[in-house]
A and B are shown apart, each in its own frame.
Chain A
Amino acid sequence: QKEVEQNSGPLSVPEGAIASLNCTYSDRGSQSFFWYRQYSGKSPELIMFIYSNGDKEDGRFTAQLNKASQYVSLLIRDSQPSDSATYLCAVRMDSSYKLIFGSGTRLLVRP
Chain B
Amino acid sequence: GAVVSQHPSWVICKSGTSVKIECRSLDFQATTMFWYRQFPKQSLMLMATSNEGSKATYEQGVEKDKFLINHASLTLSTLTVTSAHPEDSSFYICSARDHRGSDEKLFFGSGTQLSVL
Contact = CB atoms under 8 A, between A and B. Distances in A.
Contacts of B93: 43-44
Contact of A43 (B34, B45, B103, B109): B109
Interface in A26-54: 32, 34, 41-46, 49, 51
B104 A45 contact: no
A46 B106 contact: yes
- For chain A, give the interface size range: 20 to 34
Interface residues of B, dominant DSSP: strand
A43 B113 CA distance: 11
Contacts of B104: 32, 34, 49, 51, 92
A48 to B, nearest CB: 10
Contacts of A70: none
A46 B49 contact: no
Interface residues of B, number: 24
Nearest to A89: B43
A15 to B, nearest CB: 25
B44 interface: yes
A5 to B, nearest CB: 10
Interface string B78-117: 0000000000000101010100000111111111010000
Interface of B: 6, 32, 34, 36, 42-46, 49, 91, 93, 95, 97, 103-111, 113
